[in-house]
Amino acid sequence: MPRSRFLVFFIPVLVWLGWYFLPDAPPLWALIKHWRITLTMAFGSFVAGATSEAGGAVAFPVFTKMLAIPPMHAKLFSLATQSVGMGSALLTILLLRIRVEWRAVIWVVLGSVPMLPVGFALADQLPVSAVRILFTVVQSSFALALWWHNRDRDSDRNEGLPRFGRLEKITLLGFGMIGGLISGLLGSGLEIIVFSVLVLWFRLCEKAATPTVIVMMVLTTWSGFAMILVTGQFAPPVSEYWLAAVPIVVVGAPFGVYVCSCMSRMLVVRVLIALILAELVSSLALIPLNTEIAVASAALFLGFSCVYYLMYRSRRYVE
């Protein structure tokens, strides 16, 4: 093992020290008071590192459905916590020298960051139930497309982007903008949107797409966290939730990255689909929907599904 890989084990220690000595904060008290937050993010951070899902993909539904936390607080928490958890996952990727498609990262982030404030503003105008069901719609449509895609043989998977010209740049920029808008609304979402483009359109292997998407999400999340700090939105109770999550996510996310690097491609896919199916079932059971939101959700689901299906059917990048 290269010597630099041993530095991975020092990432949690450094973050723990910084967390413990934060000024004007009672970290140990936060752990006790918000133990349910800590427990949720123990699983959420591992999922963030091991799959294309950000930690907010676990935090948002659990917070809004089981813990009765307002979606706005859940979104702010997701951005703040992912900044630490996925940031440590990024360092792990670099130290373990896991391959990343940096060309894709650059163009997606160029599109996502400017759209974050648009998503922040739009979230204030939508009903709470609409925000919650939007999260489910985006993920469910992708799970369907991913299932279609993996009925095929493994022979059409690429280890890297097969081509990178004007069309590829525009595609990544455009979907980066859509992902940034959804991340501004929900605290996460960029990762699942861009992951769909990489695996369905560019035919990138899921194991290669996952670390690439993590890097994209880290850079976008850092930008979003900076925005909420500047606007003064990072305040109790969100800051208390964040204190309760930091010491666990800094371990869970890097561990997830390592596990993903050892997992088979199909196991990564099955984990993703299982998580999304659980999210769909819980949403249908727990979120009250009126006729307008139900119709809009169905239309959005069909729209995303059609786009993903067209990507799946395309053979443009089949080598």
Query: Is the pLDDT score of 2 beyond 60?
Result: no
> What are the tens digits of pLDDT across the range 70-122?
878 888 888 888 888 777 778 878 877 888 899 999 999 999 999 999 998 88
Question: What single DSSP character describes residue 150?
Answer: T
Among residues 54, 29, 25, 22, the alpha carbon closest in space to that of 41 is found at 54
Q: What is the pLDDT of residue 93?
A: 81
Give the pair of three-digit tokens for residue 226.
């900076």
Query: Is the pLDDT score of 306 beyond 80?
Result: yes
CB distance 123 to 134 below 8 Å: no
Q: What are phi and psi of 160, to 5 degrees?
A: -150, 175
CB distance 300 to 193 below 8 Å: no
Query: Is the pLDDT score of 3 beyond 60?
Result: no
Q: Match 């925005």 to its residue by tokens.
A: 227
Q: What is the pLDDT of residue 124?
A: 79
Q: What is the pLDDT of residue 1?
A: 47
Q: What is the pLDDT of residue 6?
A: 63
Q: What is the pLDDT of residue 112?
A: 95
Q: Which residues pair with 158 in a beta bridge?
A: 204
CB distance 48 to 256 below 8 Å: yes
Dihedral angle sign, alpha carbons of residues 238, 29, 27, 43: negative
CA atoms within 13 A on the CB side of 213: 31
Q: What is the pLDDT of residue 106?
A: 95
> What are the tens digits of pLDDT across the range 150-188?
766 555 677 888 888 899 999 999 999 999 998 888 887
Radius of gyration of the chain (CA): 19
d(CA 282, CA 269): 20
Q: What is the pLDDT of residue 170?
A: 95
> What are the tens digits of pLDDT across the range 203-261?
888 778 888 988 998 899 999 999 988 988 888 888 888 888 888 887 776 677 677 66
Give the pair of three-digit tokens for residue 172.
């990544």
Q: Match 């940096």 to its residue by tokens.
A: 102
CA distances for 93 relative to 3, 71, 188, 269, angstroms: 15, 31, 20, 20
Q: What is the pLDDT of residue 54?
A: 61
> What are the tens digits of pLDDT across the range 43-60?
777 776 666 666 556 666
Provide the 3-class DSSP secondary structure of residue 158: strand
Backbone torsion region of residue 68, taken as left when φ is above 0, otherwise alpha when ψ lies between -120 and 50, otherwise beta: left
Q: What is the pLDDT of residue 169?
A: 94
> What are the tens digits of pLDDT across the range 271-283?
778 877 877 887 7
Contacts of the segment 174-177: beta carbons below 8 A, 24+ positions apart? 174/111, 175/108, 175/111, 176/107, 176/108, 176/109, 176/110, 176/111, 176/112, 176/115, 176/216, 177/111, 177/112, 177/114, 177/115
First to last CA, the chain: 33
Q: What is the pLDDT of residue 114?
A: 95
Give the pair of three-digit tokens for residue 206.
């899921």
Query: Is the pLDDT score of 7 beyond 70?
Result: no
- What would the DSSP string read from start to end of 85-137? HHHHHHHHHHHTT----HHHHHHHHHHHHHHHHHHHHHHTTS-HHHHHHHHHH
CA atoms within 13 A on the CB side of 137: 22
Biggest CA-to-CA distance, the chain: 59
